[in-house]
Amino acid sequence: MTFRASYPEDCLYIYNGKFTKDCVDSSWIFDSELCYECVNVEKCYNLKFSQESKDCRDSFFLYSCRNCSNCTFCVNLVNGEYCIRNQKYSKEEYFKKLKEFKLNAYLGITNAKKEFDKLRKQFPVKAIASIKSEKVSGNWFSNCKNVTKSFDCVNIKDGKYLFMVFGAEDCMDYYEWGNKAESIYEAVNSGLNIARLYFCNQCWMGATDLYYCNTCPGARNCFGCVGLKKGEYSILNKKYSKEEYLVLKEKIIKQMKEVPFVDKRGIKYYFGEFFPEMFSDFAYNETIANYHFPLSREEALSRGYEWRNNERKNYEITLKPEDLPETITEVDDTILNEVIECAEKDNPDSVGAFRIAQNELNFYRKMDLPLPRACFNIRHFRRMDKRPKLALKKRYCKKCGIEVETVYTEEYAPIIYCEKCYQNEVY
């Protein structure tokens, strides 16, 4: 159950990760090992219940920390060691206090989560989460320049309306991937040495000069092709000479501009528009779009989207969540045979029940962590909730008063700082 991950090793329940090892229940995690319940962390080791942190190790409950080790309940801390609530302790004092929190017990962790959420809101949050970036708007940038209204971008130059793209230049309306991508427009899940893709989906491995293509790795100069590997000068999967292709392509574009496709709602799609959503293989509520831009069933159907009701299986429950032991030391291997009821079984996102796998049990024992009480799906959405929705709003820096654009609401981050004020205070 790992999704959108590159090069994971011995990982469970990861969403959007790269080069991760021995990590469980984490999202947006990169170059990290032995991490649990972490979101937006990079180059971390043995980190638990943390977010927006980099180069940290052997710590619990960090938010927006850099280069910290053996720290707990810390926010905006840089180069910290043996710190609790941003206060420095001796090594002996630190471990003595850490033991008092009982972070190896389910109740201790539950209480710690509540305390940390309150603590985090007492500290300023930078309006835009960015590292080594300039002239950007949106959130979560690293090494970006001139990128507008985009999110989760790394190594981007000159981009607009991007989401989860890395290693790209001169791109617009582009969702996911990159890795040496140039001049991409209205494309989805495409990357790896690609250039000049327009209105394409899942085209990679050197694909160039494609229009309206789907799953065409290594293809060049193609129009309206599907599943064509390393094809060239093809239209609707039919091969043409270069001269024939160029003439016919222009004729098709001219006709698409004059005679649009009209969907069942009467909406017209001319050349220059992405494929209509009616051709999607998925219902709206099955996609990540419904998380970032939630719609009710009625709203989705009124817009012409499909909606598919979840069919919950009837599991034969053998163990209630409240009957699970407080610590992992109280758990024996018989837990592998149990069907555990999800603590949030009435939540529409719950699958109702879950089991513990052997490698999962090994991880909890190694990390001295209690068993979860909710199913993997609920745990995933809890992590997603730690990230603000992709909607920019105007706020004001609490320090200098200038207007800033941010995804952070008043509820999520009561104190917002502009880049300059944040740098002055934290660094």
Check residue 136 and report its DSSP letter: E
pLDDT digits (tens, 9 = 90+) for 138-169: 999 999 999 999 999 999 999 999 999 999 99
For the four alpha carbons of 317, 318, 321 and 323, in that order, the dihedral sign comes to positive
Residue 4's pLDDT is 78
CB atoms closer than 10 angstroms to residue 276: 15
Q: Which amino acid is at 238?
A: K
Query: Count of alpha carbons within 13 Å of 86, Cβ hemisphere only?
Result: 14
SS3 269: strand
Q: Look-up: residue for tokens 């094809």?
A: 231
Structure tokens at 177: 């991937």
Q: Look-up: residue for tokens 């030391």?
A: 329
The Cα–Cα gap between 83 and 74 comes to: 7
Phi and psi, residue 202, nearest 5°: 55, 55
Least confident of 74-88, 241-255, 289-303, 337-351: 289-303
Average of per-residue pLDDT across 271-285: 91
SS3 277: helix
pLDDT digits (tens, 9 = 90+) for 45-61: 999 999 999 999 999 99
DSSP bridge pairs for 141:
130, 153
pLDDT digits (tens, 9 = 90+) for 204-215: 999 999 999 999
Residue 31's pLDDT is 96
Structure tokens at 341: 């009821």
Structure tokens at 240: 């043409």
- pLDDT surpassing 80 at residue 308: yes
The Cα–Cα gap between 154 and 233 comes to: 33
For a pLDDT cut of 70, what percent of the chain falls above it? 100
Residue 427's pLDDT is 83
Average of per-residue pLDDT across 271-275: 95
The Cα–Cα gap between 426 and 337 comes to: 49
Contact (CB, 8 A) for 232 and 219: yes
For a pLDDT cut of 90, what percent of the chain falls above it? 89
pLDDT digits (tens, 9 = 90+) for 236-245: 999 999 999 9
Average of per-residue pLDDT across 315-329: 97
* Nearest to 118, CA basis, from 61, 159, 77: 61
